[in-house]
Amino acid sequence: MTQVFDVERVLAQLTLEEKASLTSGSDFWHTQGVERAGVPAVMVTDGPHGLRKQAEDADHLGLGNSVPATCFPTAAALGSSWDVELVTRVGEALGRETRANDVAVLLGPGVNIKRTPLCGRNFEYVSEDPVVAGELGTAIVRGIQSQGVGTSLKHFAANNQESDRMRVSAEVDERTLREIYLPAFERVVTGAQPWTVMCAYNKVNGTYASENHWLLTEILRDEWAFEGLVVSDWGAVHDRVPALAAGLDLQMPAAGPRPDEEVVAAVRDGSLDEAVLDVAARRVLHLVARSLPGVEADDSFDVDAHHELAREAAAAGSVLLKNDGGLLPLTSAESVAVIGEFARTPRYQGAGSSQVNPTRLDAPLDALRATGGAFPFAAGFTIAGGPAGDDQALLTDAVAVARDARTVVAFLGLPGPDESEGYDRPRLGLPDNQVATLRAIAEVNPRVVVVLANGSAVSVTDWRDLAPAILETWLGGQAGGSAVADLLLGVRTPSGRLTETIPHRIEDTPAFGNFPGEAGVVRYGEGVLVGYRWYDTRAMDVAYPFGHGLSYTTFGYSDVAATADGTDVAVTATITNTGSVAGAEVVQVYVRDPEASVLRPTRELKAFAKVTLEPGESREVSFTLGARDLSYWHPGLHRWVVEGGEFVIEVGASSRDLRGSVSVDVEGEPLWGELTVMSTIEEWFAHPVGGPLLQSALVPPADMGPLDETMQAMILQMPAKVIADFGLVGFDREALDALVAKAAAG
């Protein structure tokens, strides 16, 4: 039986030096223990799509001697499932493996927003939309932590690029932070209480995240009521004393004795209150206490069952982008050739700290051949980091194999070195040698299915007309090869949907021109228009829109309805499987404010549900939207506000495939702010108290004729102080000051 670990008793025993030591790791992966007081060190290790526990002599940064673990699909693929229940089950499996390996905390998930498809770490992130990222992030945290181990929600906040990530300042206005980059973290914290939150490397508006009191204390703890521990990303702390004062609790990894000594000195000279250190040390001790039952358990996990779950998840997260003429699924009678080195040498996970040593690995070619077909193969091209070869000879062989087949399945994708932690992608498109191979085989065989393997969106515009069918599999984990075979042969029906828009060109993307920044600063100039919010609001053509995904069946939408009760909106719709096979539809609910007083996106996703239906089956789905779903962050009032009036509720299969919309009238709230001498005449007139006061005070000279429309419009935009200083309207600065006081008094 595990002995009870009494946090307060232990804390009271610790010396100042021991408390300071608790706020640092003891090595690369362990917290600091205090043997004298019975405080053990506990281990944390990399995730988020598989356990990366390394041996003591491992290299820490690479794959090294990691223990075998199930490599589940990366977040890009899991997110594309839009399946909360499935992601929860994946989380439970990750938790079991973490516990079985005596690890206290699995470092993940990552819920940073995909601001640009070129971010090198996008494969670890869920979506360009905060609702999807937040809901699925909550699901995986709940799943992992249900097994008695912790998670580390990361990277808080505004870590949306790898270029200069350890120094760059993300310059983001508060409204954009509140509406785009913080809500996914908020959903996970308030919905699942992760044991830890990991601060980002970068600065946010000039202050390192590790020293940002507004983020770590005012937002995370005071507003969201976070109860756990804030840990740094590895190497993100530059001065632990101000970091502790800001709300950081644990610096990782160990950085030698100097930071501990600086903390002790700061307490002794009075520049750091010892109570602040006590709070951080207490949180570390709480983490140790809640970890002990899990790390002391003698558990194991079912390797085969987890592999099958990884296979299910990989299939669910694959997105059928195109299927002209119903080319897919393939029939067993067909003569099918397989082209592409990725079929033999699969790309199944990203590079960097999340690399997993899989318990096994299914190659797509092997999985297809295991079904009994011949599936003749040609490599077609070389891939960076893969087997060497002569591309021209490989292309010639591929053309010969393709010419003799009825259908060709071409496995294309991004080379591993293109996507990694630590640097951003060099291009949006596929490598030239792969596109050349596709063009060559399409010339001799028009029946081409392209299977993509990549961690983030790639441009398809230049070559998609060559392939009647395109299946996006992202980085599907160790069982991705078998999952692809299941989808190609119709064993499973595709049900994934895009959680990120696929643009035509990098020049079309929202952050183009403001990424990756310069001189240590990256400006988020696109504001709230991120991802589909940008493309839809600007009515830009895209290759494939957010939420898009095809199936081997079809779905009908009917009886779309919405009713408002105050600021609550009830939404219902009936979904019917109108095809001949079972399948799953992702029902998406968007909100549009047609006449907002600030710039709002044309539509914003606020709810979704995945519905599995048999042929001919119908089901009503329902959603309840609240005030927050209708709100925007008011830049002047610094709070969420609901602007009353008409809202349009849209229900559909993507942000561009809307099957029904309903207008509702919503009760709003007063949006006027505090009046000052610098408030404009228009702002004064809009104020219920200040408007009548100013109207009565305005006494223009008798010889002043009526103002034309242009002059009236100009005056409305002028601050009241300027009008008073002109001395033309019957009141001066003293009178204006009196009006300000009366307006404030109500």
Q: Point out the residues that are catalytic.
A: 233
Q: Residue 361: is it exposed, middle or buried by C-beta count within 10 angstroms (0-12/13-18/19+)?
A: middle
Instruction: Report yes or no: 32 and 21 within 8 Å, Cβ to Cβ.
Output: yes
| SS3 assignment, position 241 | helix
Q: Give residue for tokens 């905060």.
A: 130
Rounded-to-integer distance, Cα 284 and Cα 255, Å: 17
Q: Which residues sit opposite 563 in a β-bridge?
A: 570
Strand segments, DSSP code E, in 174-304 are 196-199, 203-204, 207-208, 229-232
Nearest to 368 by CA among 397, 329, 394, 322: 329
Contact 381, 418 (CB under 8 A): no
Contact by Cβ (8 Å): 456, 113: no
**162 φ, ψ (degrees, to nearest 5):** -105, -20
| Structure tokens belonging to residue 16 | 């100042």
- Contacts of range 702-709, beta carbons closer than 8 Å, 24 or more positions apart: 704/728
Q: Are 501 and 546 in contact (CB under 8 A)?
A: yes
Contacts 24+ apart (CB under 8 A), 232-237: 232/198, 232/199, 233/154, 233/155, 233/198, 233/199, 233/200, 233/201, 234/28, 234/353, 235/166, 235/201, 236/166, 236/199, 236/200, 236/201, 236/208, 236/209, 236/210, 237/210
Query: Which are the contacts of 389, defined by CB distance < 8 A and separation ≥ 6?
Result: 379, 382
Q: What's the token pair of residue 656?
A: 């561009």
**CA–CA dist 113, 528 (Å, integer):** 12
How would you class 95 by CB atoms within 10 Å of its CB: exposed for 0-12, middle for 13-18, buried for 19 or more?
buried
Q: Please, what's the b/e burial string for 50-63 (b: 16 or more CB within 10 A of its CB; e: otherwise)?
A: bbbbbeeebeeeee
| Six-digit token string for 340 | 């592409």
Q: How far is CA 472 from the centre of its chain?
A: 19
Amino acid type, 510:
P
Rounded to the nearest angstrom, the gap between the alpha carbon of residue 706 and the centroid of all alpha carbons in its chain is 56
Report helix, strand and coil shares of the chain as percent, to nearest 5: 35, 20, 45
- Alpha helices (runs of H) in 543-648, residue ranges in sequence order: 627-630
SS3 category, 267: helix
